């Protein structure tokens, strides 16, 4: 699996730096969905959701101790969670995959429905208590963080149909700045 910097293209199955499975926003209409005011085939009844690639895994981080997780795997998730101000990063939301015969562990972050909140009140990261979180970021991770651009991210999200509110855009600007300033500290 190749991890690449920069935005993914819409139709690509490339996995980005943090290893989030490829995902698309979908709109769906079906009479079996919850329609409290009655069903009719009309745009107002269309549901919005997301469709994510199924990733082969052997369980989640809740099922095992963190000792054998590679440092880089924990760091990519910590970077993503700080950047996205993810308020739902419990160990159950990280899948574990064994990439090759030697059993190299790859962590797959999932369940990102509670990112970019309007304030920073509810951030609890399970990885904060894992030993890997005490190691410094590698030059590759630092380089990736230096390449981040919140304004570009906001424009990209808008292009793909999600116009961030002022409050959520502010959250992304602050978290990106926090990461950038953090990695420049000796
Ligand atoms: N991309 C994926 N590939 C493989 N399995 C997945 C993937 N996404 C989710 N799963 C499986 O589905 C389970 C539940 O997923 P997820 O954590 O997204 O939802 P949830 O926490 O149950 O619900 P909610 O979205 O309401 O918080 C995961 O623990 C995992 O077993
Ligand atoms: Mg979950």
Q: Which residues of the chain have pLDDT under 50?
A: 1-3
Q: Rounded to whole angstroms, how far apart are CA atoms 129 and 102?
A: 27
pLDDT for residue 31: 93
Cα(111) to centroid of ligand 1, in Å?
6
In a domain, 34, yes or no: no
**36-45 pLDDT, tens per residue?**
989 888 898 9
* 91 in contact with ligand 1, CB cutoff 6 A: no
Contacts of 57 (CB under 8 A, 6+ apart): 95, 96, 97, 108
In this structure, is residue 111 part of a structural domain?
A: yes
In a domain, 99, yes or no: yes
CB atoms within 10 A of CB 9: 8
Evaluate whether residue 16 is within a structural domain.
Answer: no
pLDDT tens profile 82-121: 999 999 999 999 999 998 788 899 999 999 999 999 988 8
136 is in which domain, residue-wise? 56-184
50 occurs within a structural domain: no
Does the CB atom of residue 60 touch ligand 1 within 6 A?
A: yes
Q: How many distinct structural domains can be found in the chain? A: 1
Nearest ligand (C-alpha, residue 114): 1
- pLDDT value of residue 5: 60
Residue 141, domain member (yes or no): yes
Ligand 1 nearest-atom number relative to CA 53: 1
Q: Which of 137, 26, 164 is nearest to 82 (CA)?
A: 137
Give me the residues near ligand 2 (ion), CB cutoff below 5 Å: 93, 111
pLDDT of residue 60: 97
Q: Ligand 2 mean position to 42 CA, how many Å? A: 31
Ranges assigned E (strand) in 1-43 = 3-4, 15-16, 23-28
The answer as to whether 143 is a domain residue is yes
Domain membership of residue 25 (yes or no) is no
């Amino acid at each position: 699996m190749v991890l690449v910097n920069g935005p993914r293209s819409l139709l690509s199955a490339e996995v980005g730096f943090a290893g989030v499975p490829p995902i698309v926003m979908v709109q769906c209409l079906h009479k079996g969905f919850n329609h409290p005011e009655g069903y009719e085939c009309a745009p107002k009844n269309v549901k919005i959701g997301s469709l994510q690639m199924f990733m082969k895994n052997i369980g989640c981080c809740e099922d095992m101790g963190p000792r054998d997780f590679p440092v880089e795997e924990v760091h990519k998730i910590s970077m993503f969670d700080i950047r996205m101000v993810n308020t739902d990063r419990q160990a159950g939301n990280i899948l574990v995959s064994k990439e090759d015969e030697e059993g190299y562990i790859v962590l797959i972050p999932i369940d990102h429905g509670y990112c970019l909140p309007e304030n920073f009140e509810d951030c609890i990261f399970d990885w904060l208590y894992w030993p890997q979180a005490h190691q410094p970021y590698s030059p590759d991770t630092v380089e990736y963080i230096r390449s981040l651009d919140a304004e570009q991210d906001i424009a990209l999200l808008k292009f793909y149909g999600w116009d961030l509110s002022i409050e959520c855009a502010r959250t992304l600007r602050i978290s990106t700045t926090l990461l950038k300033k953090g990695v420049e500290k000796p």
